[in-house]
């Protein structure tokens, strides 16, 4: 089916972190998908309200009402990932809040698509909450089933298990990871594509030694993990002072190109 308008809601995943665009911002799976959705739909409009670092409560309080007010055909929502990393977060409570948000969005007349999170097994910091992610995903599948919402299961996308799907920070997807997620989401929405997200990764020789792997882990800890811990202890967020990159439903015009 054709979609006339779409509002994307969420955090850094939907903002598109680690997939840089030529304008100095980020492209991401959502911008890539918008380009596909606009093909043959000259009146198609797209807004992206997602901001990096946002927690579930912030997304529901700030972005969901704006999405409802815009009254688009489609709303995609991905929230809870940042909450899961924080010690003591309640998975059941997060799922209940997501359930309520979906009910509100559907009541306003929008179709809703949500995302089940990727398997963090290969990610050194996030894998400690792997069980929480798995439980949250089960909740999300139940929520989608209960309300007839569409869902993109990132955990089931085995191509995302390749390190090349992830950026150097090991928390956000690479440009290629975002491209494949855009293709998978297009498939769930019935949007035609020429490429296949299942395409195997090119073979590459394994030349990394134990020493190189250890050095990479230490570099990552210094560059990414320590700053994250400092921000968390200070009550700061990556999204402080950051605004949504496409706050209004607007035509793509020449697209949102790299």
- Residue numbers in the chain where pLDDT is lower than 70: 1, 124-125, 205-234, 236-239, 253-258
User: What pLDDT does residue 232 have?
Assistant: 62
Domain ranges of the chain: 5-197+207-251
β-strand pairing of 246-251 with 45-48? antiparallel
User: What pLDDT does residue 127 have?
Assistant: 78
Identify the CA nearest to 119 among candidates 159, 59, 82: 159
Name 106's Cβ contacts closer than 8 Å, sequence gap at least 6. Answer: 112, 147, 149
User: What pLDDT does residue 255 have?
Assistant: 46
User: What pLDDT does residue 225 have?
Assistant: 61
pTM of the model as a whole: 0.89
User: What pLDDT does residue 258 have?
Assistant: 40
User: What pLDDT does residue 170 have?
Assistant: 72
User: What pLDDT does residue 236 have?
Assistant: 66
User: What pLDDT does residue 145 have?
Assistant: 98
Residue 114 phi/psi, 5-degree rounding, is -125, 170
Identify the CA nearest to 34 among candidates 7, 73, 72: 7
Whether the Cβ atoms of residue 25 and residue 174 lie closer than 8 Å to each other: no
Fold of 5-197+207-251: Rossmann fold (3.40.50)
The gap from C-alpha 166 to its chain's centroid, in whole angstroms, comes to: 13
């Amino acid at each position: 089916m054709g979609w006339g308008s779409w509002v994307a809601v969420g955090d850094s995943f939907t903002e598109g972190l680690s997939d840089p665009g030529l304008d100095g911002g980020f492209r991401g799976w959502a911008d890539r998908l918008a380009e596909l959705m606009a093909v043959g739909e000259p009146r198609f409009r797209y807004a992206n309200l997602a901001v990096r670092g946002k927690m579930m409560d912030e997304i529901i309080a700030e972005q969901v009402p704006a999405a409802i007010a815009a009254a688009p055909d489609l709303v995609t929502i991905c929230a809870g990932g940042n909450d899961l990393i924080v010690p003591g977060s309640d998975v059941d409570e997060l799922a209940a809040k997501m359930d309520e948000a979906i009910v509100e969005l559907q009541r306003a007349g929008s179709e809703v698509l949500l995302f089940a999170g990727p398997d963090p097994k290969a990610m050194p910091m996030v894998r400690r909450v792997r069980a929480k992610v798995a439980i949250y995903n089960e909740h999300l599948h139940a929520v989608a089933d209960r309300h007839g919402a569409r869902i993109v299961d990132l955990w089931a996308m085995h191509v995302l298990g390749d390190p090349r799907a992830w950026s150097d920070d090991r928390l956000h997807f690479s440009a290629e990871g975002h491209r494949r997620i855009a293709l998978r989401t297009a498939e769930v929405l019935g949007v035609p594509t020429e490429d296949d997200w299942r395409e195997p990764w090119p073979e590459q020789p394994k030349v990394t030694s134990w020493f190189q792997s250890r050095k990479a882990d230490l570099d990552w800890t210094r560059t990414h993990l320590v700053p994250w811990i400092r921000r968390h202890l200070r009550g700061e967020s990556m999204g402080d002072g950051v605004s949504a990159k496409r706050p209004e439903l607007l035509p793509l015009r020449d697209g949102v190109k790299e």
